[in-house]
Amino acid sequence: MADGATVGVPIELRKVTKAFPGGGEPAVRELDLHIPAGEIVVLLGPSGCGKTTTMRMINRLIEPTSGDILIGGRSSRDIDPDRLRRHIGYVIQQAGLFPHMTVAANIAQVPRMLGWPRKRIAERVDELLTLVGLEPETYRSSYPRRLSGGQQQRVGVARALAADPPVLLMDEPFGALDPISRERIQDELLRLQEELAKTIVFVTHDVDEALKIGDHIAIMQRPGHVVQYARPAEILTNPAGDYVEQFLGGGSSMRLLRLTQVGDIELDRIPYASEDMDARDLLREVELDGRGHALILDGMRRPLRWIAQAELEGVHGPVGDAGEPVTVSIGHRMTLQDALETLLNADTDVLPVLGRRRAYAGALSLGTVQNAIQSIKARERERRLRRGEAP
């Protein structure tokens, strides 16, 4: 990223109400929401719950009937709407690229309105295309029609980022993509966000997308209010009431698996040794452990081989190069879901977990995963009880 890149600013909604003329009950009612700087906050809810209206009030595409919206401490009412919007990135479903302009011209729109010199715009366009994973040489002068849906949305994101705004609004941006492209572009958004640390308001009705993308999720209910505003894990383990539970649907334990990384849970320990360790010492450990296996690590603590109890019996001196090579292992950044998948497909019941620089960090078995889920749930239950007792 270019030096001096703008990081996110907080957004504060204060008692924001929107009533459309002749619309009966307001679309959004007295909404209070604090969106922390540099976080992705997802507005989640069924259609008609006011999530899009809420988002569009932030860049004043819809004017609030009452209440105030502060962006980085400044009331949005004090800024001319067109100028305000030039400093808030805006991404919509199916990208909304202008079909009569090249990819480069699409991305250049906001910088051009801000009066950047031509050369700086051209450099910025190439920089952004690279950032969203499109080769500038190839895509710069092609027209949006020639791009796939996923590529179009990448350009949409690049256009939103063009003038380096602190805030990004995304209205169901990946809703029209096929599942594979959607997964990929979600991953990329998360990767980008690690670099950029923008404040992102993301509207969706897709629970899994919300859980994957959001640092915080605001679950909204008709008409226009927030029923729960919390981190994804908290929402899964401690849904605020029937509405949230119903909206999440079943499978919250499965979702927890997708949300938790292997490195976050307590791992199993198995006996391990370096090649020069005495076989008798290792045998004693394996017998104590009772599962009949040990890991041989190299000098950098990277797993090399599995060795069975039988292979150790009667051996004197160093362990040496006996045993079967380790073929399957689990990275500490893997989600529990992927780890489970790997476990189920592996020949052994236990797999080594690799930490940083692929060094041995522990072991994982089905039992470990089960224990982890149970302890997460127990912790949340406890927290709920404690909060219930507090005044």
Partner 1 sequence: MNLWEYVEDRWDLILFETVQHASMVAQCVLVAAVLGVLVGVATYRRPRPAAVATSIAGVLFTIPSLAMLGLLIPPLGLGVAPSVTAIVLYALLPIIRNTVVGLRGVDATLVDAARGIGMSRRGSLARVELPLAWPVILTGIRVATQLAMGIGAVAAYVSGPGLGEQIFSGLARLGGANAVNSALTGTIGVAILALLFDGCFVLLGRLTTPGLRHG
Cβ-based neighbours of 222, under 8 Å, separated by 6 or more? 45, 46, 48, 49, 50
Q: Hey, what are 129's tokens?
A: 């295309």
| Least distance between partner 1 and beta carbon 205 (Å) | 17
Q: Which of residues 163-182 bind partner 1 (CB under 8 A)?
A: 169
Task: Tell me if 346 contacts partner 1 by CB under 8 A.
Answer: no
Sequence-ordered list of residues with C-beta below 8 angstroms from that of 342, at least 6 positions apart, any chain: 328, 330, 334, 351
| Residue 107 to residue 131: CA distance in whole angstroms | 13
Which class for 314: exposed (0-12), middle (13-18), buried (19 or more C-beta within 10 A)? exposed
The single residue among 6, 17, 65, 94 that binds partner 1, judged by CB under 8 A, is 94
- Amino acid, single-letter form, for residue 27: A
**In the complex, what is the shortest distance from the CB of residue 250 to partner 1, in angstroms, rounded to a whole number?**
34
Nearer to partner 1, 11 or 343 (CB): 11
For residue 78, state whether it binds partner 1 (rule: CB under 8 A). no
CB 211 within 8 A of CB 259: yes
**84 lies in the binding site for partner 1 (CB under 8 A):** yes
- Least separation in angstroms between CB 72 and partner 1: 17
Name the minimum Å distance from CB 8 to partner 1: 18
Half-sphere exposure of 22 (CA within 13 A, CB side): 0
Does residue 293 touch partner 1 according to CB under 8 A?
A: no
SS3 91: strand
Dihedral pair phi/psi, residue 288, rounded to 5°: -65, -40
3-class SS at 95?
coil
From the CB of 295, what's the least distance to partner 1, in Å?
55
Q: CA 389 to CA 391: how far, in whole Å?
A: 6
Interface of this chain with partner 1, residues 216 to 245, rule: CB under 8 A:
none
Span interacting with partner 1, options 84-92, 227-235, 313-321, 330-338, rule CB under 8 A = 84-92
Residues 31-70, mask of contacts with partner 1 (x by CB under 8 A)? ----------------------------x-x---------
Smallest separation, CB 62 to partner 1 (Å): 11
Q: Which residues in the 102-121 window bind partner 1 by CB under 8 A?
A: 102, 109-110, 113
The reply to whether 149 sits near partner 1 by the rule CB under 8 A is: no
> Is there a cis peptide before residue 223, judged by omega within 30 degrees of 0?
yes
Q: What angle do CA 81, 82, 83 make, to 5 degrees?
A: 90
List the beta bridge partners of residue 331.
354
Q: Which position has the token pair 């150790």?
A: 312
Contact between 369 and 340 under an 8 Å Cβ cutoff? The reply is yes
Which 8-state DSSP code applies to residue 365? -
**Between 109 and 348, CB nearer to partner 1:** 109
CB of 84 to partner 1, least distance (A): 8
Radius of gyration of the chain (CA): 26
Question: Is 8 among the residues that bind partner 1 (CB under 8 A)?
Answer: no
Options 17-25, 76-84, 259-267, 328-336: segment touching partner 1 (CB under 8 A): 76-84
**Closest approach of partner 1 to the CB of residue 133, in Å:** 21
**Closest approach of Cβ 90 to partner 1, in Å?**
4
To the nearest 10 degrees (0 to 180), the angle between helices 252-259 and 366-389 is: 110
Residue 116 vs 143, nearer CB to partner 1: 143
| Contact footprint for partner 1 (CB under 8 A) | 59, 61, 82-87, 90, 92-94, 96-102, 109-110, 113, 143-145, 159-160, 169
